Amino acid sequence: MPPIILAVLCFLPLVGLSSYAMHILVLVIMWSIIGMGWNLLGGYCGQVSFGHAAFFGMGAYSSGLLYYHFGISGWWGLLVSIPVLTITSLVIGFICLRLRGAYFALATLALGEVLRVTAENLVKFTQGDLGILIKQRTWVEKTWYFYVILLLAAGSFLLVKKVMESKLGYYFVAIREDQDAANSLGINTTLYKTIALCLSGVLTGMAGAFYMNYMGYIDPTTVFPLYDISIVTVMVVMVGGVATYWGPVIGALIMVFLAEVIRSMPKIGAAHQTLFGILLIFIIIFLPNGIVGDFRKITGLFKPRGALK
Amino acid sequence: MAAQVELFLQTLISGFLLGGLYALIGLGMALIMGVMRIINLAHGDLMMVAMYVAYWLFTLFHIDPYLSVFVATPLLFFLGVGLQKFLINPVMKVESILPHNQVILTVGIGMILANLATVFFTSNYRSTPVSYASKAWYLTDFWKNAPIELSLSAPWSLSFLAAVIITVALWFFLTKTDTGKSIRATAQDIDAALLMGVNVGVMRAVTFGIGAALVGGAGCLFIPIYYLYPSLGKQFTNVGFVITVLGGMGSTEGAIIGGVILGIFESMTATYLGMGWAPVGRFLIFVAALVFLPGGVASILRKQRLGK
């Protein structure tokens, strides 16, 4: 199944889609990478993060700052973001993942906010609210961007799949289901939670680095916002399906299209967060495991009444 | 030298006053955390709602923000009870993979409130220009030959005083009334409270309502000294949970002490590093609490009570 979808996507740009359609596709694929990253940590390992904007923004800024300070191509940011995000994740993991409960969720939430403030205040280093602009885009056409992000997404998908089919994946699920039981079986829970965080952070950071190169402009409020990135990341996975391979992809598809449709409506556009919030509440109450996770529940609704019982 | 001391003492005073108000925000969150075991991430947004109530009462009917405490608190209480009953409670029963569904739900509630406020009231900055806004007491008024000059702003002191009154009232409620005792019992041990005949479901709703009412009161006290815009909630949610962690998850005494510590610390960062760095200072306190004092201030208090 995945190779067929990949092949179809590879040939998609040849059909001659409009620039706008390509843009949407690129965004969908980018969001599915972020979703896969979040899912690895939140869905499989059970450590819910409310601050993936922190990782996304750090990736974007590591790319942007390389370009701004050293004048080299922002694409190196894709590589540089890996060590940067690993170190960040190790630090956060060391501090928060030793403790139970909501500490981790809160720490990530605060981290996103702090990074935004730091980026706004370190004017000499990050240009503050002026943001960073890449003066010369690599390509004018969106086709190559599409292939780059597709490659990244295919890599991420493969990585998540391989991890989850390995021993590591079973450790993650064991930790999510019952940390005490996992601990008593000799699993070093802090270590494996930190590994999940590192992988998740790196995937998200690479998506961020790509975003910098793709959009050509970032500022603290576009890459570190709570609602527009961190919460949308949570929603991408929750809508699509927590702890499923295809959940983030489906979720990204739905969320990006929904966002575009809502924002294009003249009167409702400003209220898009309200609609997202209502959708989030609806999903949590009625489809807590997402569209892929609760697929049976959905198909059950459309079956004739008698078949239900 | 005198100028340095003056600056330091002045910062300390304003930090302490700010801390009293922060304690009120933290108290509500700590109560909810204690009884329901969830962090309410819509806390700051509930405060924003109360601030808009106070703002409109002031603008339309010229009601003093301090008087609108009596309107906003009951309003927020019912809003809180409603949210708990119709949104959070149903989710507690839903089976799902993720353990933090209720917390995500509160984020959703906060997002809706902030966005609706933007849609209806625009994102303009607003304030209530009360007549006594710039009134202040000076040290030299009382002590003619004082070597240093300190001032105490009237609205800040009033807000602080009101915060203390509300806190004392809450303390009486929690220790002397039946409902208060039931709430504390639920926080200590849900199963034992159930066996003792406490209606845990009702207590949860009441607690959420009280938490919302407390932060609503804090909002009314904040509006004469602060300004108001729809997305201000996030910042105060952060304040709330930093206090909750600092004070010890769910501890009310800890929340008060944590609030004062945070207020002073933030005031210090604002004076010596610059206004914009206050959130970073908040985060540093949060991290320091996690690393050095994971049980929060409450764990120290408990040790002292046991005589160790």
* Closest chain B CA to residue A100: B294
Q: Give the residue extent of every domain in chain B.
A: 2-128+151-305
pLDDT tens for A231-275 read: 889 889 988 888 888 889 999 999 999 888 888 887 777 788 888
Contact A120 B276 (CB under 8 A): yes
pLDDT tens for A42-93 read: 889 888 888 899 999 999 999 999 888 888 888 888 888 999 999 989 988 8
CB pairs under 8 A between A and B: 131
Q: Do the domain assignments include residue A116?
A: yes
What is the per-residue burial (b if ≥16 Cβ within 10 Å, else e) of A182-214? beeeebebbebbbbbbbbbbbbbbbbbbbbbbb
pLDDT tens for B292-306 read: 887 778 888 878 877
Distance in Å, alpha carbon of B103 to nearest chain A alpha carbon: 9
Residue of A99, A103, A118 lying closest to B280 (CB–CB): A118
Contact B111 A284 (CB under 8 A): no
What is the per-residue burial (b if ≥16 Cβ within 10 Å, else e) of A26-55? bbbbbbbbbbbbbbbbbbbbbbbbbbbbbb
pLDDT at B94 over 80: no
Q: Which of B37, B89, B111 to mutate to test the interface with A (most CBs of A within 10 A)?
A: B111
pLDDT grade, residue A101 (50/70/90)?
low
Structural domain that includes position A212:
2-223
| B167 vs A84: CA distance, rounded Å | 45
Distance in Å, alpha carbon of B238 to nearest chain A alpha carbon: 7
| B177 vs A144: CA distance, rounded Å | 69
What lies within 8 Å, CB to CB, of B199 at 6+ separation is B182
What lies within 8 Å, CB to CB, of A117 at 6+ separation is A220, B276, B277, B279, B280
- Of A9, A63, A31, A73, nearest to A237 by C-alpha is A31
Distance in Å, alpha carbon of A272 to nearest chain B alpha carbon: 8
| B264 vs B252: CA distance, rounded Å | 19
How many domains does chain A divide into?
A: 1
A123 Cα distance to chain centroid: 27
Contact B283 A281 (CB under 8 A): no
For residues A96-124, average pLDDT: 82
Q: What is the pLDDT at residue A156?
A: 92
Q: What is the pLDDT at residue A309?
A: 42
Q: Do the domain assignments include residue A107?
A: yes
pLDDT tens for B18-69 read: 999 999 999 999 888 888 888 888 999 999 999 999 999 998 988 888 888 8
Q: What is the pLDDT at residue B99?
A: 67
DSSP letter assigned to residue B151 = E
Residue located via tokens 């949970």: B241
A 79-98: CB under 8 A from B: 95-96
Least confident of A25-34, A149-158, B32-41: B32-41
| B165 vs A293: CA distance, rounded Å | 50
Interface check for A48 against chain B (CB to CB < 8 A): the answer is yes
DSSP letter assigned to residue B113 = H
Q: Which of B104, B109, B236 to mutate to test the interface with A (most CBs of A within 10 A)?
A: B104
Q: What is the pLDDT at residue A206?
A: 92
Least confident of A167-176, B7-16, B277-286: B277-286
Looking at CATH, the fold of the domain delimited by B2-128+151-305 is given as ABC transporter involved in vitamin B12 uptake, BtuC (1.10.3470)
| The dihedral sign for the CA sequence B188, B192, B198, B202 | positive
Contact A46 B294 (CB under 8 A): no
| A54 vs A90: CA distance, rounded Å | 14
Please give the structure tokens belonging to residue A101: 């409960």
pLDDT at A139 over 90: no
Interface check for A265 against chain B (CB to CB < 8 A): the answer is no
Please give the residue that has the higher pLDDT: either B246 or B93: B246
pLDDT grade, residue B246 (50/70/90)?
confident
Q: What is the pLDDT at residue A308?
A: 47
Q: What is the pLDDT at residue B51?
A: 92
